[in-house]
Structure 1
Amino acid sequence: MENKLKKSLKFSVSIAVITFVLAAIFSVISSSVMSGVIWGVGLCIVFVIVFTGVVFDMLGIAATAASEPPFHAMAAEKISGAKEAILIVRNADRFASFCNDVIGDISGIVSGTASAIVVIQIANVLGHSDGSTVQIILSVLLTSIVAALTVGGKAVGKFLAIHSSTKIIFIAARVIAWIESNLRINILSPSTKSTRKSR
């Protein structure tokens, strides 16, 4: 029990550090990009960020809802991505934590910051800035739209994740397998892979 607690705390600290670093990176990148584009492009970027959060939320839920047997059958036939899918399901708690809490929360924060920049850009185009009524209305309107898209998108994502968990995780696993094979980027940690082998 004590060993599991230590591992849990270690993972929590590592996730917190990763979140801090990624949030800082994405915030700087999004702010830099948003400041150099027109408001229409900026609005599209906001929607892309929201969509990213919805997709990763769906992946996290799908990982907790999926089961191993279908992927064992695929692995026996040496289908690409099957082994990665097994790793994802066996480590569903960590995978879900990264997708839902890290990427999901960062997307929410960054989309809020990006929305504020878009509001300022639109207000400047209309000739209303410095806390004008128009700017306030634009801010409320865009914030409401982003919130509605986020909540509505995640609701649809949850439905798909629960009812099509195997397909979703397999697609994610195929993407991970391709990245690890072709780009030489180790997404699934060595410790996770060694855990799989020891079982």
Structure 2
Amino acid sequence: MKKKQRFNFRWVIRTFFLTFLLAVIFSIISETLLRKVSIFAAFAMLLTIIMIGIFFDAVGISVAAADEKPFHAMAASRVKSAKYAIMLIKNASKVSNFCNDVIGDIAGIISGTTIGIIVSFFDQYNIPDTYQALIAIGISGLVAALTVGGKALGKEIAIGNAKQVVDFTGRILYYAHLAVQPKTYIGLFKRSV
């Protein structure tokens, strides 16, 4: 008899609302910032958004491709970030979904919005509508090529160096956890009585 596939509907609902919330927050931030900057700063922000999408895509792929065993050895040697790397690998489907789909799609949507804002800068230069349309198409093509090409390169790096990428990500999570919860290292600063 065939085993029934179980779906984690709680994760699906959480992802839905998390994606909505993050998309709204990042859209508000990007809209607010982009309306107040120069065209060159807008292009810099666009490239940053593309790089964030590429980075998270690489993390999602490496987590799915990494082997857990080396991180258990690191944890046994008391490497504190190793437990975060193990947690990432044990939750590979969720981490991959979050990195590749949630962050990746939000980065794509925001980069599209950014292109629209950049094109609106050309209104102040009295460029005819036909040329503005051609510029928008050119920028969209360039952004798509940078995104897809960057993700292709990122995937090659992530698959070939999955352990290093997961280790790096685990370290980031470890230090982020220390920054968010300073009580974990408060014992270092105890007053001697």
TM-score, length-normalised on structure 1? 0.87
Alignment of 1:96 onto 2:93: no
Question: 1:74-93 residue pairs with structure 2 within 5 A?
Answer: 74-93=74-93
Question: How many residue pairs align between the two structures?
Answer: 180
Q: Give 1:137 deviation, angstroms.
A: 1.0
Equivalent residue, structure 1, for 2:185:
none
C-alpha distance in 1 between matches for 2:60 and 2:136: 30
Is the partner of 2:181 in helix, strand or coil? Answer: coil
Is the partner of 1:124 in helix, strand or coil? Answer: helix
Q: Give 1:2 deviation, angstroms.
A: 7.2
Letter in 2 for 1:75: A
Equivalent residue, structure 2, for 1:174:
171
C-alpha distance in 2 between matches for 1:29 and 1:2: 43
C-alpha distance in 1 between matches for 2:99 and 2:43: 24
Letter in 1 for 2:99: C
Q: Give 1:3 deviation, angstroms.
A: 9.4
C-alpha distance in 1 between matches for 2:175 and 2:40: 34
Q: Residue 180 of structure 2 is aligned with which of 158, 180, 183? A: 183
Give per-residue Cα distances to partners, 1:133-160, cap 9 Å, x unaligned. 1110110111011000000000000001
User: What CA RMSD, in Å, does the superposition of the two structures yield over aligned residues?
Assistant: 1.5
Is the partner of 1:67 in helix, strand or coil? Answer: coil
Is the partner of 2:46 in helix, strand or coil? Answer: helix
Equivalent residue, structure 1, for 2:160:
163
C-alpha distance in 1 between matches for 2:82 and 2:6: 28
C-alpha distance in 1 between matches for 2:94 and 2:4: 19
Equivalent residue, structure 2, for 1:188:
none
Q: Give 1:182 deviation, angstroms.
A: 2.0
Letter in 2 for 1:77: S
Equivalent residue, structure 1, for 2:118:
118
Question: 1:124-135 residue pairs with structure 2 within 5 A?
Answer: 124-128=123-127, 132-135=129-132
C-alpha distance in 2 between matches for 1:89 and 1:170: 11
Percent of aligned positions that are identical: 36
Structure 1: 5+ residue runs without aligned partners? 186-199
Q: Residue 153 of structure 1 is aligned with which of 146, 150, 154? A: 150
